[in-house]
Amino acid sequence: MKLIDTDETVLIVTGSDIPAEMNDRPLAYHLKAEIDRQGQGKSYRGAVVVSDRWYAENRIFHLCPTVAVGGPGVNAVAAALVNDLPMLVKRDDRIFVQGAWDGDMKRASLWGLDRLATAMAVEAFLKEGFCADFLKRVWKN
């Protein structure tokens, strides 16, 4: 049974160490709920939360649109993307939203210098239209 469509299912990746699991995974599930809501129940138009270790071990899913939650110090995917993605939001050198979704690979990274700043980055992604634009590019019809 197919659970993920590499074109439409968004992977939300968190770090796999205890602090990331405690602080970033709840934020990832908050983001997942909003993505699932916008998918309106259509097949594969939703999100799946995974760890950076799982993501590293399952390379086929690197084709999926991906959002990293948590900074480069706690999330290996965010660390891999930090120098490659344009900075969309940078507030007080604490809150960061990076992303590129115009091409084939759709990627975003939401992080901050602490757990509160990371939560604020997730909220900026959701409330300032970045998530909606990301999903519009992922879900073309």
Q: Contact at 8 Å (CB) between 67 and 12?
A: yes
- pLDDT score recorded for residue 114: 96
Residue 1 lies in a domain: no
- pLDDT score recorded for residue 140: 83
Range of the domain at 78: 10-138
Which residue reads 């690979």 in tokens? 105
pLDDT tens digits, residue range 82-137? 999 999 999 999 999 999 999 899 999 999 999 999 999 999 999 999 999 999 99
Residue 132 lies in a domain: yes
Residue 109 lies in a domain: yes
Task: Say how many domains are in the chain.
Answer: 1
pLDDT tens digits, residue range 6-25? 999 999 999 999 999 999 99
Residue 2 lies in a domain: no
Residue 44 lies in a domain: yes
Is it the case that residue 78 has pLDDT exceeding 80? yes
Residue 73 lies in a domain: yes
In degrees to the nearest 10, what's the CA dihedral of 6, 69, 129, 29? Answer: 80
Residue 3 lies in a domain: no
Is this structure's pTM higher than 0.85? yes
What pLDDT band is residue 71 in, cutting at 50, 70 and 90? Answer: very high
**CATH number of 49's domain:** 3.40.980
Q: Contact at 8 Å (CB) between 94 and 117?
A: yes
Residue 42 lies in a domain: yes
